[in-house]
Amino acid sequence: MSTILATGASHTWKKLGLAIAPQNEISWMTHYAGPSFAVSDGDAVRIFVTGRDSLNQSRIGIVEGTLQSSGLTVTRIAEKPVFDLGDLGCFDESGVSYPWLVKHGDRLYMYYVGWTAGGRTRFQNFTGLAISTDDGMTFQRASRVPLLDRTEEEPYGSGSCAVWIDAGGWHMIYTAFAPWRATPSGPKACYRLKEALSDDGVNWHRTGRVVIDFMSPDETIIGKPMLIKDPQNYKLWYSHRGDSYRIGYSESADGVNFVRKDDETGIDVSTSGWDSQMIEYAFVFDHLGSRYMFYNGDDFGRTGLGIAIFSQ
């Protein structure tokens, strides 16, 4: 396995508060403002947000605002989602979520999670792909079937991912479902992070290599990868859960072998308020010379999307 546990001095994130709350008047995000992807543009930011409606269906919409070290000022929330539910019977009929965007030539690739409600496990997740040719104003599905479908080696599903391009081609760290666990309260999902490679961003080879593995029998979930390549190394954040969700952190010199440094994440639950029970789904980005993190708090986004700024 590629995961090593290390200890050391912590990084520090200063919380700036709740940035985006669910909006009763916006149909696609009445009940949740969940996992996000932010694009910096001058002093403004464009945030692709996963919202949920009153039927617990998730869609991806756009929130725009200006961002300074004091926090986010929202200037516009799109009335309609930029990416909607899939066709009835398809893998994403119940929702689309967890956007990850990659600019490639004149196209914008959006990797996402499609899910279907129901069954003995309550839901099924699969990774999909949509493509925009108008800089993210609209998206069309690359296919009505998952980008990472079931295989004999991975029959349980796939989830959120981080994708980047370098001289070696396209790279993906994705959430790979493991066998569900039976518990007194019902089936419990299990997943961790694995690697996939591609020449074109559409056709992917899953290597089977585990990037971040469980550290104990009590840890059953590692997902929502978030990767940044800095000059000195690769930094990878993820959500992990034992009793409740926390944000984890790891580093790699080569983008392949990551050293797990959860004690250096530098952000945890608050003593009270909207993120006092759990934090998860980090998205980290640079804006006007500072590094920011969007993240969710209690109940996976029901309380909204918060923001923090990195301080060395």
Q: What is the pLDDT of residue 46?
A: 98
**pLDDT value, residue 7:** 39
pLDDT at 6: 39
How much is the average pLDDT of 197-213? 98
Phi, psi dihedrals of residue 150, rounded to the nearest 5°: -60, 145
Q: How many domains does the chain have?
A: 1
| The length of the chain, given as a count of residues | 312
| pLDDT tens digits, 76-126 | 999 999 999 999 999 999 999 999 999 999 999 999 999 999 999 999 999
56: left (phi over 0), alpha (psi -120 to 50) or beta: left
Q: For 69-115, give the DSSP string.
A: TTEEEEEEE-SS-SB----TTSTTSSEEEEEEEEEETTEEEEEEEEE
CATH number for the domain including 128? 2.115.10.20
Is 277 or 11 the better-scoring residue by pLDDT? 277
Q: How far is 308 from 4, CA to CA, in rounded Å? A: 27
pLDDT digits (tens, 9 = 90+) for 25-37: 999 999 999 999 9
The reported pLDDT for the residue numbered 141 is 98
**CB-based contacts of 168, cutoff 8 Å, min separation 6:** none
pLDDT tens digits for 53-65? 999 999 999 999 9
Q: Residue 220: pLDDT above 90?
A: yes
Q: Residues near 208 by Cβ (< 8 Å), separated by ≥ 6?
A: 153, 194, 195
Q: Report the predicted TM-score, pTM, of the whole model to 2 decimal places.
A: 0.95
Least confident of 4-13, 37-46, 205-214, 265-274: 4-13
Helix (H) or strand (E) run with residue 263 in it = none
Closest CA to 46 of 59, 23, 62: 62
| Predicted confidence (pLDDT) per residue in 150-197, tens digit | 999 999 999 999 999 999 999 999 999 999 999 898 999 999 999 999
Percent of the chain exceeding pLDDT 70 equals 97
pLDDT at 4: 38
**Which of these, 279, 272, 282, 311, lies nearest to 297 by C-alpha position?**
279
**Residue range(s) defining the domain that contains residue 228:** 4-311
What is the predicted pLDDT for the residue at 10? 54
Where does the pLDDT of residue 243 fall: very low under 50, low under 70, confident under 90, or very high at 90 and above?
confident
